[in-house]
């Protein structure tokens, strides 16, 4: 279809909307934003007549590549170190995708612009595509990869795992609370415009380097839909900017959304890329270098900064702080170490790091070895059962961390941890911004104005609370992270499948009591708590 | 001489990580084991749909971690008055997922496109009489608004609210059908307005907004979009409105009379809408049959659906009856309103019988 006829066709389909006079559509999901003065911004033009065949063609290429991968025995060359992390990633990502579909009517309800409604409805179908195409990729992995354990229980594991919950806010954040905060700023303006670059472009590149060319095939196809979504989000953002009353809310939401996306996505994708790869060429980009390119240059400098011309204060300080956490404060390395510490309650296996890995990390992140090297040597030393407990229960100079009440990644940059009594409970936060998110942003009043539509932080936010005081073996069994012999754990701190004696069983982890740091914190006297927090924060992570 | 750029690339390593390379616990565990498929083997649809939307009643242990300002987040079952002892029992008989959505809709796009190309090549519109052109201009033009309104503000809206992924995905596909069909009608309208015939491509707006015969239909559509209960909205739209108004207009009028008025184009396009509704009715029937046959809540659901019908059946009957004058507009009046209306009501009765619901007395009046 020519550009001219597309424009004409698009103009025609805008005639389908009308101003209702008998009744107006129900407002199921409210917003504190106002669009009374908003000019109608036109999003990227898309009509169903061209949309369906275009997506069908994209699908054909994806499924053709899948057939080719099977015929070409792709799994002969896939690195297990890489594919194990996909058990976590692919258990999480279909939910945010389908949540994005569910978020679209929230934006439609909130924004009085029929031209955008069409684009949002098309995005809804895209997201159904993304969710189901990713579930299918995972099924292919389960069917063809050497170790299907973990893939086979994927959605159950996602729903009961500590890391799954971290990822789940990436979906729940799209569908809950203020419609514009959730479905526009958090989902589209930040998650899709900024972080899909690392999720769907940078990470698949790394997959290819590890012998897996199906992840890039599927996720680049997914990413090719994102430009339309970014256009939807930008149109709504410009409409919101037209009303001065929205400015404080936009600034609040950009701070929350930016920081939460950083905490969650950089934790996960940074770990997958840095610790899931076997590609240790020195000129391969590190996650920090990728972040600089994809997030700092492409998003912050090219997308966020120009918004200043509309008078919007953008969160420069938080962009800089995120960068600092990745480069100076070891954020990704801390997260990887935390995941590896928790291996018995994982549904994926985590490979040990070798001298080659150490060398690469030291080259990319000077000072890495002195901070993390010894711990990974211990991880390697304690990899097999029989003579030792799982590393979390051995004295290797690592204190199991407090969890951030807001982003649910633990407070791993320990000197930055904030401890406050909020809603009658002592809570810990990974950062001042996460504390602000809970105590200030997600409240019914903000900066002296009522914000009744803003969401709330709910649920059993500290995963460890659910398992406080239980034996590790019972926890693993309750979670269902046991292989089909009824005793061998799915999670293992190594990749050796050839010798049953190297595989940890329930009996090997029994006798270790697991406690919730938050429950213990709340049981402490004021003096004990202060001393505990001071000691925790003193065990800082700054690389010398 | 230009300096040769150093090329750096990862080395592929043969790892022997194929299925079956080794035997160890779970090495043969190659099915999703966290749900019970409806039949012996899980379908592709089930594997890519079931449990993707978590549920605290199934595997979700920490509960929903975000809430609304005035209530819980996630997908509360309280968002409808209908009750089920197991919402997860609903599976879409169309088994819609990525590939089916694009394959089916692309096939329709190609069918419509070919049809419109042929119409232009054959100068098919030249043969239409003025009464038929006027009929299409006004009535099909008005109807496309209804399809679009339902697509955006009923089905797109509903797919946020159902308690399971299976329900919401089926409804999302329904929304896509409606939007595609509405747009196809609009672009057909555009083709006609560009053809060398007497056709006012903008008349549809006025008809939909002001023509007395269409106002009760517009009123029902607008009132549907105002319903907050997602299940009532689905019931009122797919069970009541589509039967008494949608099918009445599409199946019992347009599809019956177009050919007799020299039009072989419109039935091809409207037929795709009929095909969509046939699929969408199929999932709707399964869902509501599940609810009326529920051992625990079946009887209370039937009472509830009776209440919903008490609201929506009279409105839809009024909308249908208001449309009566358009049966007289074509030159060749191949069917009478009474015959069409009887046929639509009879199909509605059959559907209600399949759902185990009482026939509203208004149908016999």
Domain map (residue ranges) of chain B: 98-356
Nearest to A462 by CA among A400, A404, A380, A544: A404
Q: Chain A contacts of B318, Cβ < 8 Å? A: none
Residues of A with CB below 8 A from B183's CB? 13, 16, 47-49
* pTM of the complete model: 0.96
Per-residue pLDDT, averaged over A152-167, amounts to: 97
pLDDT on residue A309:
94
Q: Which of residues 73-92 of A touch B (CB under 8 A)?
A: 73, 75-80, 83
What is the pLDDT confidence band of residue B2, given thresholds at 50, 70 and 90? low
Does the pLDDT value for residue B80 go beyond 50? Answer: yes
Residue A372 lies in a domain: no
Q: Which of A323, A287, A298, A326 is nearest to A205 (CA)?
A: A287
Average pLDDT taken over every residue of chain B: 96
Give the confidence band of A295 by pLDDT, cuts at 50, 70, 90: very high
Question: Does residue A4 surpass a pLDDT of 90?
Answer: no
Q: Which of A53, A122, A136 sits opposite B48 (nearest CB)?
A: A136
| Residue ranges making up the domain that contains A69 | 53-282
CA distance A191 to A196: 6
Could you say which of A103, A118, A132 has the minimum Cβ distance to residue B97?
A: A132
Q: Classify residue A422 by its DSSP letter.
A: E
Judged by a CB distance cut-off of 8 A, whether residue A296 touches chain B is no
B179 touching chain A per CB within 8 A: yes
pLDDT > 90 fraction of chain A, expressed in percent and rounded = 91
Q: How far apart are CA A481 and CA A516, in angstroms?
A: 20
- The answer, yes or no, to whether residue A138 has pLDDT greater than 50, is yes
For the CA atoms of B131, B136, B139, B140, what is the dihedral angle to 10 degrees? Answer: 170
Per-residue pLDDT for A542 more than 60?
Answer: no
Which of B37, B54, B66, B141 should we substitute to test contact with A (largest number of A Cβ atoms within 10 Å)?
B66
Q: What is the pLDDT of residue A5?
A: 83
Q: H or E segment at A527?
A: helix A526-538
Q: How many CB pairs under 8 A join A and B?
A: 364
Tens of pLDDT along A332-378? 999 999 999 999 999 999 999 999 999 999 999 999 999 999 999 99
d(Cα A40, Cα A242) in Å, to the nearest integer?
10
Residue B103 contacts A, CB cutoff 8 Å = yes
- What's the structural domain count of chain A? 1
User: Does the structure's ipTM exceed the value 0.85?
Assistant: yes
Q: Report the CATH number that the domain containing residue A86 is assigned in CATH.
A: 1.10.620.20
Q: What is the pLDDT of residue A543?
A: 41
How sure is the predictor about A539, in pLDDT bands with cuts at 50, 70 and 90?
Answer: confident
pLDDT tens-digit map of B126-168: 999 999 999 999 999 999 999 999 999 999 999 999 999 999 9
Q: Which of A380, A336, A328, A378 is nearest to A354 (CA)?
A: A380
A283–B8 CB contact, under 8 Å: yes
Residue A309 to chain B, least CA–CA distance (Å): 32
Residue A544 — very low, low, confident or very high, per pLDDT cuts 50/70/90? Answer: very low
**Fold adopted by B98-356:** Ribonucleotide Reductase, subunit A (1.10.620)
User: Lowest mean pLDDT: which of A219-228, A469-478, B5-14?
Assistant: B5-14
Spatial neighbors of B119 by CB under 8 A, at least 6 apart, are B125, B191, B265
CA-closest candidate to residue A255, choices A178, A166, A321: A321
pLDDT at A533 over 50: yes
pLDDT of residue A113: 86
A109, A25 in Cβ contact below 8 A?
A: yes
Q: Return the residue of A nearest to B27 by Cα.
A: A147
**Half-sphere exposure in the Cβ direction for A171 (13 Å, CA):** 27
Q: Which chain B residues are within 8 Å of A487, Cβ to Cβ?
A: 25
H/E stretch holding A51 reads helix A48-71
DSSP label at residue B67:
E
Neighbours of B6 (CB within 10 A): 6
- pLDDT at position B69 over 60: yes
Q: Is residue A273 part of a domain?
A: yes
pLDDT tens digit sequence for A25-78: 888 899 999 998 777 776 777 899 999 999 999 999 999 999 999 999 999 999
Structural tokens at position A180: 């514009």
Q: Which of B72, B169, B209 sits opposite A128 (nearest CB)?
A: B169
Q: At what angle do helices B266-292 and B98-121 cross, to 10 degrees?
A: 150
Mean pLDDT, to the nearest integer, of A472-487?
Answer: 98
Q: What is the mean pLDDT of residues A233-246?
A: 93
Give dist(CA A338, CA A352) in Å, integer.
14
Report how far residue A138's alpha carbon sits from residue A144's, in angstroms, rounded to the nearest whole number: 10
CA distance to A116, B29, B274, per residue, from A111 (Å): 8, 47, 31
**For chain A, percent of residues with pLDDT exceeding 70:** 98
Predicted pLDDT at B364: 87
Contact (CB, 8 A) for B355 and B288: yes
- Using CB atoms, pick whichever of B30, B70, B179 lies closest to residue A121: B179
Contacting residues of B for A25, CB less than 8 Å apart: 153, 157, 225-226
- Chain A nearest C-alpha distance from B217 (Å): 11
Residue A1's pLDDT band, with cuts at 50, 70 and 90, is low
- To the nearest whole angstrom, how far is the Cα of B353 from the nearest Cα of chain A? 31
8 Å CB contact of A135 and B47:
yes
DSSP state of A313: P
pLDDT score at B332: 87
Of the candidates A133, A153, A131, A132, the one whose C-alpha atom is nearest the C-alpha of residue A142 is A153
- The string of pLDDT tens digits covering residues B320-332 is 999 999 999 999 8
Q: Which residues of B touch A360 (CB under 8 A)?
A: none
A200 close to A229: Cβ distance less than 8 angstroms: no
């Amino acid at each position: 279809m020519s550009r001219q006829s597309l424009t004409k066709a698009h103009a025609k389909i805008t005639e389908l909307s009308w101003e209702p006079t008998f009744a107006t559509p129900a407002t199921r999901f409210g917003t504190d934003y106002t669009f009374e003065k908003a000019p109608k911004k036109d999003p990227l033009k898309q009509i169903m007549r061209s949309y369906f065949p275009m997506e069908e063609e994209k699908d054909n290429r994806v499924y053709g590549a899948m057939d080719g991968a099977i015929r070409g025995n792709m799994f002969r060359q896939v690195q297990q170190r890489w594919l194990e992390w996909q058990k976590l990633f692919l258990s999480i990502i279909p939910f945010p995708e389908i949540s994005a579909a569910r978020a679209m009517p929230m934006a439609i309800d909130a924004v009085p612009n029929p031209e955008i409604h069409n684009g949002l409805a098309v995005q809804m179908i895209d997201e159904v595509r993304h969710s189901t195409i990713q579930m299918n990729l995972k099924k292919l992995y389960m069917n063809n990869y050497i170790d299907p354990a973990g893939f086979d229980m994927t959605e159950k594991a996602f729903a009961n795992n500590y890391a799954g919950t971290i990822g789940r806010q990436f979906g729940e954040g799209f569908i809950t609370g203020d419609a514009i905060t959730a479905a526009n700023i958090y989902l589209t303006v930040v998650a899709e415009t900024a972080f899909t670059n690392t999720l769907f472009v940078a990470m698949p590149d790394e997959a290819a380097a590890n012998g897996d060319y199906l992840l890039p095939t599927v996720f680049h196809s997914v990413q090719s839909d994102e430009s339309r979504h970014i256009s939807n989000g930008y149109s709504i953002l410009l409409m919101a900017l037209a009303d001065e009353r929205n400015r404080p809310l936009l600034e609040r939401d950009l701070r929350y959304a930016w920081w939460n996306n950083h905490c969650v996505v950089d934790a996960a994708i940074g770990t997958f890329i840095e610790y899931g790869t076997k590609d240790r060429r020195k000129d391969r980009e590190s996650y920090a270098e990728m972040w600089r390119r994809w997030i700092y240059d492409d998003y912050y400098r090219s997308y966020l900064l120009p918004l200043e011309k509309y008078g919007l204060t953008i969160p420069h300080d938080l962009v800089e702080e995120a960068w600092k956490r990745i480069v100076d404060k070891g954020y990704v390395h801390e997260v990887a170490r935390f995941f590896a510490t928790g291996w018995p309650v994982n549904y994926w296996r985590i490979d040990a790091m070798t001298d080659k890995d150490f060398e690469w990390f030291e080259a990319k992140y000077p000072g890495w070895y002195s901070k993390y090297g010894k711990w990974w040597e211990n991880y390697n030393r304690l990899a097999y059962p029989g003579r030792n407990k799982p590393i979390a229960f051995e004295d290797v100079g690592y204190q199991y961390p407090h969890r951030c009440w807001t982003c649910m990644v633990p407070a791993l940059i320990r000197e930055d941890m904030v401890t406050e009594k909020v809603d009658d409970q002592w809570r810990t936060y990974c950062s001042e911004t996460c504390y602000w998110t809970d105590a200030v942003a997600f409240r019914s009043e903000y900066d002296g104005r009522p914000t009744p539509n803003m969401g709330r932080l709910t649920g059993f936010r500290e995963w460890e609370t659910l398992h406080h005081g239980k034996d590790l073996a019972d926890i693993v069994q309750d979670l269902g992270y046991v292989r089909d012999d009824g005793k061998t754990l799915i999670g293992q701190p190594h990749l050796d499948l050839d010798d049953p004696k190297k595989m940890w069983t329930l009996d090997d982890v029994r006798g270790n009591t697991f406690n919730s740091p938050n429950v213990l914190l709340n049981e402490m006297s004021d003096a004990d708590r202060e001393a505990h927090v001071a000691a925790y924060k003193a065990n800082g992570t700054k690389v010398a | 001489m230009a300096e040769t750029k150093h090329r750096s690339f990862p080395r592929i390593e043969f790892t022997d990580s194929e299925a079956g390379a080794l035997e160890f616990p779970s090495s043969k565990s190659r099915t999703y084991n966290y749900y019970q498929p409806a039949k012996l083997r899980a379908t592709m649809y089930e594997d890519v749909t079931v449990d993707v939307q978590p549920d605290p009643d199934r595997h979700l242990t920490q509960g929903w971690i975000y809430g609304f300002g005035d209530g819980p987040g996630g997908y509360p079952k309280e968002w409808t008055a209908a009750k089920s002892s197991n919402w997860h029992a609903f599976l879409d008989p169309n088994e819609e997922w990525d590939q089916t959505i694009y394959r089916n809709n692309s096939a329709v796009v190609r069918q419509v496109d070919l049809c419109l190309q042929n119409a232009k090549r054959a100068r098919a519109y030249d043969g239409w009489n003025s009464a038929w052109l006027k009929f299409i201009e006004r009535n099909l033009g008005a109807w496309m608004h209804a399809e679009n309104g339902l697509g955006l503000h009923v089905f797109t809206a509903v797919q946020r609210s159902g308690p399971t992924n299976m329900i919401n995905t089926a409804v999302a596909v329904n929304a896509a059908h409606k939007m595609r069909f509405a747009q196809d009608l609009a672009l057909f309208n555009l083709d006609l307005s560009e053809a060398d015939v007497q056709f006012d491509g903008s008349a549809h707006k006025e008809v939909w907004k002001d023509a007395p015969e269409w106002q009760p239909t517009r009123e029902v559509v607008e009132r549907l979009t105002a319903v907050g209960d997602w299940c009532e909205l689905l019931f009122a739209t797919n069970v009541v409105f589509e039967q008494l108004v949608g099918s009445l207009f599409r199946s019992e009028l347009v599809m019956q009379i177009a050919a007799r008025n020299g039009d072989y184009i419109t039935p091809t396009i409207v037929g795709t809408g009929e095909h969509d509704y046939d699929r969408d009715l199929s999932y709707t029937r399964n869902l509501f049959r599940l609810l009326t046959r529920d051992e625990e809540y079946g009887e209370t659901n039937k009472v509830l659906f009776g209440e919903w019908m008490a609201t929506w059946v009279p409105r839809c009957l009024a909308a249908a009856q208001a449309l009566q004058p358009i049966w007289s507009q074509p030159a060749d009046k191949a069917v009478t309103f009474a015959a069409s209306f009887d046929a639509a009501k009879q199909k509605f009765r059959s559907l209600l019988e399949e759902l185990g619901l009482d026939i509203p007395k208004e149908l016999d009046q």
